Structure formats: C-alpha cells, structure tokens
Amino acid sequence: MSAPARARRPGPTVAFMGEPGAFADEAIDQVWRERPDRIGVATFVDVVDAVARGRATHGVLPIENNRAGLVTEAIDSLMDGRVAIVAQTVVAVRHCLAAPPGA
C-alpha cells in the first residue's frame, strides 16, 4: 500500500532552480505577497516540467542577467510552448567575497 499523498495547501506552489536563498527564491518573494510553497529543482528544464506536469502552479526562471546577458538555457526551456510567461520582476544581484582575516 502506498503512502497517502501529501495534502497541498491552497495557493500557489512555485518551482525554481536552486536551493532556498537562491536569487530565484528571492524573486518569488518579490512576486508573491504570501509565502507560497516552493519546490527547488536542479535545472531550468525541471522548472518548466514541474509546471507543465502540475507539480507546481508557477515557475521562476532567469531570462537575463547583467553579467552574462541572456540566460539561453532558461529561454530554450520555454520554447516548447508548454508554459507561458505571466509576470516579471527584477532581482538586484549582489555578491560579497568573505574570507578569514589575513587570507
């Protein structure tokens, strides 16, 4: 006998590439006022698959960044037409280099 399916709470479930705290995770906070359920996946194609197959109601993909330009892998994952872009946001990307004193 299989385990019962986990009950989904009402509201969106958002797929994104990466781990909690990734820039795509930050984008979720900018787009949704409530804290939706989140599914971190390994690739941009996995984000699209999660939405197309109903595991997620929405997905977050980077389309462009100021260092590398277009994110072609993410754009390519949208080309089969299984999902559509419904909103956009801009995430300020800031990095810092941390090291122990004297390094």
Flag whether pLDDT at 3 surpasses 70.
Answer: no
**β-strand 69-70 against 64-65: which pairing, if any?**
antiparallel
d(CA 28, CA 100): 32
> For residue range 41-97, what is the model confidence (pLDDT) as tens digits?
999 999 999 999 999 999 999 888 777 777 888 888 889 889 999 999 998 888 788
pTM for the whole structure: 0.78
Query: At 8, is the pLDDT very low, low, confident or very high (cuts 50, 70, 90)?
Result: low
Question: Residue 5 to residues 28, 86, 90: CA-CA distances in angstroms?
Answer: 25, 29, 35
Q: What is the chain's Cα-based Rg?
A: 16
